[in-house]
Structure formats: C-alpha cells, structure tokens
Amino acid sequence: DTAVSQTPKYLVTQMGNDKSIKCEQNLGHDTMYWYKQDSKKFLKIMFSYNNKELIINETVPNRFSPKSPDKAHLNLHINSLELGDSAVYFCASSQDRGVGTGELFFGEGSRLTVL
Amino acid sequence: SQKIEQNSEALNIQEGKTATLTCNYTNYSPAYLQWYRQDPGRGPVFLLLIRENEKEKRKERLKVTFDTTLKQSLFHITASQPADSATYLCALRPDSWGKLQFGAGTQVVVTP
C-alpha cells in the first residue's frame, strides 16, 4: 500500500488553464504539506495543513489554493497557469507537530509542464 | 536570512570508498537536522535525524555528525555501493513546530 499517493503523476497543459493535483495519505498523520521542486532541484515549502487547518502559507501566488477536505487528503488547485509554474509538486505528511521526529513522508511527485 | 548550503557539485566516488557530504547553515538554531535521499523521478525518503544535543548518529553504513558551533552537519556513506547513487538532502526544523526547510542537495555517483 502506498503511504502517500498523489495524482496525476504527469500533467501537461497550456498557459492560462486551471488544474488540480490530489494527495492522499494512509499513515494516520495529522499534518500534510505541499512542496515545489524547481528545475534546480530546490524543494520549497508552499503550504501545510494540520487537521484540516492551514498552518503554513508561504509567499505563494494566490492562484494556488490548497484544500483539505479531511486530514487524510490535501489537494492543490492552480488557476491561470503560467510558464513559471512548471515544476514537480510533492505532497508529504508527518506526525502531529511536537510528536515524534517530524520526519516527512513524501509522495512520488506530480510533474507539471505548462506550455 | 536563513540559509542551508550543500555542495552543488556532484560527488563522484569509487565503490568501496567513503563519501562525505556537507550541510552548512546560517541564522538557524535548529532543534534537529534530517537527511533524506532522493532518486531521480521519486520523492525524498527520510534516512536519519540528529538532535542538537547529539554529536553523532549511525544507521548501517550511514553516519551523521552535527556540530552546532560550526553550524555544520556531515553525512558519511561508508563502503559505498553503486546503489547509493542518488541526491542527498539535508533539512532543518527549528523545533517540532517549525517548517522543515531543505538544502538543494548533493548528487552522489558511485562507480564500480
């Protein structure tokens, strides 16, 4: 069973379109994250949710809107896609804050290409 | 501003030798530091965590040191194997409540 799964794995779309990436974790974790990895392989945090509540919101364009329907799911919707949004987006989860080692469990990534 | 620096140049090493990677940080007082491995096209996978009051941690052929005075962590792969070829990322969290920030990673290539 995949611990953190995200779909789709690949996404190719035109500029200006709207797209969504879905993420689910079956680890029972309370905290989920979206990270963006650009062409230079630098992983940058975008958002974090703890028990459906937004706790980290980095300086990300408001075209990006996360949504957590329950603590096992965290989706990312992107409006009006731009060329610079092309990257690999990783979903991750961790134990509740303050508990355990805080290690992150990552999904396999969703590679977004904007043409 | 807070910074995490890893050697951006790939580390090429012969099988059987020890690979040593460096992670330097500035303007952090981390409670602990983590190391991850990332293979091409895959998500990072957690390897080791070392706390601020620990000098050294080992896991099989991996060894991590943490020097809070130098603001540096070293990651060693002993008796390296071609299967160890990957990118290794260090990550810092100021405390259990803070966000985990990653370095850019160092690619390791182990040749037979």
- Interface size A-B, in CB pairs within 8 Å, comes to 53
Domain containing residue B49: CATH number: 2.60.40.10
Query: How close A14 comes to chain B (CA, Å)?
Result: 23
Residue B72 lies in a domain: yes
Positive or negative: CA dihedral A92, A95, A96, A99: negative
Q: Checking DSSP bridges between strand A110-114 and strand A10-13, what pairing results, if any?
A: parallel
Of B43, B96, B97, the CB nearest to A107: B43
Q: Where are chain A's structural domains?
A: 4-114
Of A90, A98, A104, the CB nearest to B96: A98
Residue B10 lies in a domain: no
Residue B74 lies in a domain: yes
pLDDT band, residue A56 (cuts 50/70/90): confident
Residue B41 lies in a domain: yes
SS3 per residue for A5-40:
EEECCEEEECCCCCEEEEEEECCCCCEEEEEEECCC
Domain housing B59: 18-97
Among A58, A50, A36, smallest CA distance to A94 is for: A50
Q: Which residues contact A90 (CB under 8 A, 6 or more apart)?
A: A6, A34, A35, A36, A37, A43, A106, A107, A109, A110, B43, B44
Residue B104 lies in a domain: no
Query: Helix (H, G, I), strand (E, B), or coil: what is residue A71?
Result: coil
Note the pLDDT tens digit of each residue in B78-104: 999 999 999 999 998 766 566 788 999
Query: How close B70 comes to chain A (CA, Å)?
Result: 23
- The CATH class, in words, for A4-114 is mainly beta
Q: Which of A41-45, A53-57, B47-51 has the lowest mean pLDDT?
A: A53-57
CA distances B1 to A37, A59, A66, A83, B38, Å, are 20, 15, 27, 28, 26
Note the pLDDT tens digit of each residue in B60-76: 999 999 998 999 999 99
CA distances A59 to A17, A46, A63, B111, Å, are 22, 8, 11, 41
- Work out how many domains chain B is built from and give that number: 1
Note the pLDDT tens digit of each residue in B14-27: 999 999 999 999 88
pLDDT at B32: 84
Provide the token pair at B38: 């990332």
Residue B32 lies in a domain: yes
Sort out which chain B residues have CB atoms less than 8 A from A92's CB and list them. Answer: 43
- Do residues B99 and B69 make contact, with C-beta atoms less than 8 angstroms apart? no
Provide the token pair at B56: 């050294």
Query: How close A79 comes to chain B (CA, Å)?
Result: 25
Residues of A with CB under 8 A from a CB of B: 4, 35, 40-45, 48, 56, 90, 92, 97-99, 101-109
- A101 versus A38: the higher-pLDDT residue is A38
